[in-house]
Amino acid sequence: QLAESGGGLVQAGGSLRLSCAASGRTFRSYAMGWFRQAPGKEREFVAAVSRSGGVTNYADSVKGRFTISRDNAKKTVYLQMNSLKPEDTAVYYCGLSGFMSDLQSGRGYWGQGTQITVSS
């Protein structure tokens, strides 16, 4: 089970940090990632991190602004979002899968999501 938190309303240029807490004893066995979906738009890959946390991958739209990380001891994955833009407004979903490539393709197990709204 995955539980996202940290969403909310922020002004453009601001920062937020999302957290996703996982239950179960095999957290470190999975790659973790974040997707987002804005109203009327298709779901979009945001970022993924490998099982150890040593490898990360980002969508071009967030590269240099967002940072994904994980703490395997806490069974938590984070998404630090800086320099937020109105176009970052979406529901953000945390997910896990055996491989980062699966997450990038949208395959995996996903949480319920948390809303991020960036005002201009």
Convert the pLDDT of each residue in 16-45 to its tens digit.
999 999 997 789 999 999 999 998 999 999
Convert the pLDDT of each residue in 49-90 to its tens digit.
999 999 999 999 999 999 999 999 999 999 999 999 999 999
SS3 of 40-107: CCCCEEEEEECCCCCCEEECCCCCCCEEEEEECCCCEEEEEECCCCHHHCEEEEEEEECCHHHHHCCC
